[in-house]
Amino acid sequence: MSKTFAELPLRPQTIEALHAHGFIAPFAIQEMVLPIALSDGDVIGQAKTGTGKTLAFGVPVIERVIAPNDAEWESFEHKGMPQVLIVVPTRELCTQVTKDIEELASNRGIRTLAVYGGRAFEPQIEALAAGIEIVVGTPGRLLDLSRQGQLRLKQVSRLVLDEADEMLDLGFLPDVEKILANTPNRMQTMMFSATMPGDIIALARRFMNQPIHIRTQDSEDEGAVVTRIKQHVLRAHAMDKIEMLARILQAQGRGPTMVFCRTKRTCQKTAEDLIERGFKAAPIHGDLGQSAREKALGDFKAGKSDVLVATDVAARGIDIDGITHVINYQCPEDEKTYVHRIGRTARAGAHGIAVTFVDWDELARWKMINQTLELGLEEPEETYSSSPHLYEVLDIPTGSTGRLTKSKPITEKLVSQKTTPKRVETKIESKPRIERTRTRTKKFKES
């Protein structure tokens, strides 16, 4: 086993790029995958989230690309046609993987393109026409461009499926099968997934050539829960959750934080409530346009906001180092969602904290999650925003309130409008009812 990247049979430019971005020694999944992948073998990589799967497939495909700055480029027959295709389930993961690949490939002139929906076709078509070596994309947009004849897959020699189980959950399996069928000259196929359901195994048997299954999970860690995460489960009342959340966000050592909600509506409202209370929060969910989602994610990565409130679908593939806390504002649907959520922290060897709010009507769901993952947290402690143990276990400074800024005062104009009934301003003198009736009768007879 290699202790450093420099000990592997890599191009000097690749080693230089790895070192420039702080990658000196491979993580477990990388250490096990790289020797096989660099020998052109098919690989099924199964590992816990946050263990560095992108480099495990990124480094081998970059090594095999013939790039414009390479000596072999002049004699290369298929200049400008995609040589590597990386298929991912979500837009966010697409941009993340593209960024990681570009960091390692740019010093050889390798051109990389992110292809996903929610954006205009024209810039992507123009980039493909100009020439691309590595394409990273979501299944739907890849197929659209392929049907239009804009994306030529015939010369793709390396294909990677990242987060294969998520593609299955999102209903992309038929699209993935079409993409695999449209790449007849594949010399290597790699598949990476946190879990291996039956449909994924069947896909591997159909399209892969004697793949080696590499699994870095311990037998005692079947649920793939990151052991470096300190987990807290609190029984919370729906009306008090926002107050509890606001206090947790003031905990000692709290850095970038992700807050997960089940619904888009709750996600948006929670973010708005936090902003009104003075926190630098941003929402990311399916109802937002692609540019708004990218801005929210970009601001979070740049430190302009430090609380990202997200739904599960929108958060798939978000890979940001340094997240210290994950808060499940609404209880996850199942154990897979729970593992995915809390895996946003404690990445790349770090430690993290996960807090899960369980309302009274969510208790049965939580017990199933707890039982499946064997967490030993079956009975969440009843907790309120004023509970002393909330401050103690999460290291919240005494005296913290639910606000960083004061609420906006009601203006005098609004007060006067509310305290002066409209009916008083428009009140008129009226005759007794019997007199009004006689007047109307008299007018009717005269007419």
**CATH topology for the 229-393 domain:** Rossmann fold (3.40.50)
d(CA 70, CA 60): 16
d(CA 38, CA 10): 9
Q: How many helices and strands in the chain, by DSSP H and E?
A: 19, 14
d(CA 329, CA 262): 8
Residue 108 phi, psi dihedral angles, 5° rounding: -110, 5
The sheet with strand 43-46 has its strands ordered as 112-115, 134-137, 84-87, 158-161, 188-193, 43-46, 212-215
User: Residue 58: its pLDDT value, please?
Assistant: 95
Give the CATH number of domain 5-217; options: 3.40.50.150, 3.30.410.40, 3.40.50.2300, 3.40.50.300.
3.40.50.300
Q: 3-state class of 45 per DSSP? A: strand
Provide the 8-state DSSP code for 380: P
Q: Is 229-393 in the same CATH topology as 5-217?
A: yes
User: Residue 412: its pLDDT value, please?
Assistant: 42
d(CA 141, CA 176): 12
d(CA 195, CA 230): 22
d(CA 265, CA 261): 9
With the C-alpha atoms ordered 399, 401, 404, 409, is the resulting torsion angle positive or negative?
Answer: negative
**Strand positions, DSSP E, 51-205:** 84-87, 112-115, 134-137, 158-161, 188-193
User: Residue 230: its pLDDT value, please?
Assistant: 93
Query: Which residues are bridge partners to 42 per DSSP?
Result: none
- Got the DSSP string for 322-376? T--EEEESS--SSHHHHHHHHTTSS-TT--EEEEEEE-GGGHHHHHHHHHHHT-S
User: For 215-262, how does the pLDDT look when each residue is reduced to its tens digit (9 = 90+)?
Assistant: 875 444 434 445 679 999 999 999 999 999 999 999 999 999 999 999
- What residues in the chain have per-residue pLDDT under 50? 218-225, 410-422, 424-431
- Which residue in this structure is represented by tokens 């309130």? 401
User: For 264-307, how does the pLDDT look when each residue is reduced to its tens digit (9 = 90+)?
Assistant: 999 999 999 999 999 999 999 988 888 888 899 889 988 999 99
Comparing CA positions, the residue from 13, 170, 201 lying closest to residue 87 is 170
Q: Domain coordinates of the chain in residue numbers? A: 5-217, 229-393, 412-446
CA angle (329 as vertex; 327, 333 as ends), nearest 5: 100
User: Residue 110: its pLDDT value, please?
Assistant: 95
User: Residue 13: its pLDDT value, please?
Assistant: 93
Q: 3-state class of 103 per DSSP? A: helix
pTM above 0.95, yes or no: no
Q: 3-state class of 158 per DSSP? A: strand
